[in-house]
Amino acid sequence: MDQLCLMAMRRPVSQEYHSSLVFNGLECRSDPKELLSSLLNRDVGELPDNEDILWKKLYDLTYHGGKRFQPIFKPICKDFDSIIRLIDQASKIVVILGAGGSVGPDFRSPGGLYDSIAKEGAFEDPCQVFDLDTFMDDPSVFWRFAHTIFPERYPRHSQAHYFLENLEKRGKLLRLYTQNVDALDVGILPEHLRCVHGSWRESYCMTCDALHTIEDIRDSVEKGEVPRCIFCGGAIKPGIVFFGQSVNLNDFELENDAREADLLLVIGTSLRVAPVSDIPRMMRNTPSILINRATVKGHFSAELLGECDDVVNAIESELGWSSETQPQVEISKITKYATNKFIFPSNSEFATRVEPTTRADFLATSVPVDVDDLA
């Protein structure tokens, strides 16, 4: 951590003090070095004179000194029963859903979008396919590969999707923030669903802004052609958020959710992409449960490590929500590591490998395995 941040944290001042000092300084074109000196109550002559660096220091002080390192007060679940009680008693659950909780196409898998682009050599960097300027210049390249990530006509859903539908049916879901664009969320009310990176549900004409459904553009996508507006013939852009566009998050709504929520579930995501990665920090004192193949940086009441579908099946079974056709996970086969971390057995092509790092901690990673070895 930056030494300046440590010094600011030791000073008995509020984050509001830090913020007002910095933003008033920006408005008045103050000397950033003088602001730093005032904030830290000491001489900072040893710092460089580069104003960009100094303002970055001030921003970091405002953020780190006031928010990120505040004490965390949340319950720790030391057994599976306490995890079940958390979910059972919660009535305003916020969920963050990533690719690991879905069955939609993975951009990075062999034969997927990025792999197909790399093999053809369409772009030096396959990620450029989601660059807005590139798309506006020539949408045909994106649409030539779009079939690799387009929703199936008769889509499959994961057990995690049905688990979230169960939360909705029981009036427990406050908000679902999904990072997926696959439009596979099932049974979630529109007012509770936020597709952070957009989705395929609605595409729009770049000429007249008319909205088009998945089925409106399916034939063109399957042929690798640019879909055309049924009203004016203009080229269509998918509802996916491209680089250069704002994500679908409302700061005011997110702050309200953080205040109201009584439980946070993080399912199938590494939380590496902002701004979704900031949500757990906003809810740092709210009970939280991680459901993922591998550990994620952060503080959780419990970490349930394994295939997301296996984990939610076990949860629904303990809650009495599961159907007779649902695969069952024997609770006795769940292995507890450290204080609040639980490893689930897996029958998939992936398994969770545990590597001890200290006496009280460990690293859990997702690794491919030979499924025959699990039989």
Q: Where are the domains of the chain?
A: 3-68, 80-98+247-374, 105-150+202-238
Token pair of 87, please? 């979910």
Phi, psi (deg, nearest 5) at residue 238: -70, 160
The SS3 assignment for 364 reads: strand
> Any known ligand binding at 77?
no
Token pair of 151, please? 């929703």
* CATH match for 80-98+247-374 among 3.40.50.1220, 3.30.1490.20, 3.30.200.20, 3.30.950.10: 3.40.50.1220
Distance between CA 96 and CA 281 in Å, rounded? Answer: 13
Interaxial angle between packed helices 32-40 and 51-63, expressed in degrees from 0 to 180 and rounded to the nearest 10: 30
The SS3 assignment for 105 reads: coil
Distance between CA 157 and CA 175 in Å, rounded? Answer: 19
Nearest to 139 by CA among 66, 56, 204: 204
Token pair of 47, please? 């710092």
Percentage of the chain lying above the pLDDT 90 cut: 47
Enumerate residues 6+ apart whose C-beta is below 8 A from 227. 143, 203, 212, 216, 217, 220, 221, 235, 236
The SS3 assignment for 326 reads: coil
- Examine the residue annotation and report whether 197 is marked as an active-site residue of this protein: yes
Q: Look at residue 47 in the predicted model and tell me its pLDDT.
A: 64
Once rounded to an integer, what is the mean pLDDT over residues 74-86? 91
- Amino acid 116 reads S
The active-site residue, picked from 18, 64, 161, 197, is 197
Distance between CA 297 and CA 72 in Å, rounded? Answer: 14
Using 50, 70 and 90 to split pLDDT, how confident is the model at 368?
Answer: very low
Distance between CA 330 and CA 214 in Å, rounded? Answer: 39
Nearest to 345 by CA among 353, 363, 333, 332: 333
- The more confident residue out of 337 and 133 is 133
Half-sphere exposure of 303 (CA within 13 A, CB side): 25
Phi, psi (deg, nearest 5) at residue 262: -110, 0
> Any known ligand binding at 195?
no
Using 50, 70 and 90 to split pLDDT, how confident is the model at 258?
Answer: very high
Partner residues linked to 140 by β-bridges: none
Token pair of 226, please? 């640019």
Nearest to 204 by CA among 240, 236, 242, 232: 236
Q: Look at residue 5 in the predicted model and tell me its pLDDT.
A: 37
Once rounded to an integer, what is the mean pLDDT over residues 154-180? 95
The model's pLDDT over 203-257, given as tens digits with 9 standing for 90+, comes to 999 999 999 999 999 999 999 999 999 999 999 999 999 988 889 999 899 999 9
pTM: predicted TM-score of the whole model, two decimal places:
0.74
Residue 372, pLDDT > 90, answer: no
- The more confident residue out of 133 and 323 is 133
Strand pairing of 350-356 and 362-368? antiparallel
Residue 135, pLDDT > 70, answer: yes
Q: Does domain 105-150+202-238 have CATH number 3.40.50.11440?
A: no
Residue 155, pLDDT > 90, answer: no
The SS3 assignment for 345 reads: coil
The model's pLDDT over 313-331, given as tens digits with 9 standing for 90+, comes to 999 999 998 765 566 666 7
Please state, in angstroms and as integers, the Cα–Cα distance from residue 242 to each residue in 113, 118, 192, 246, 247, following that order: 15, 19, 23, 8, 9
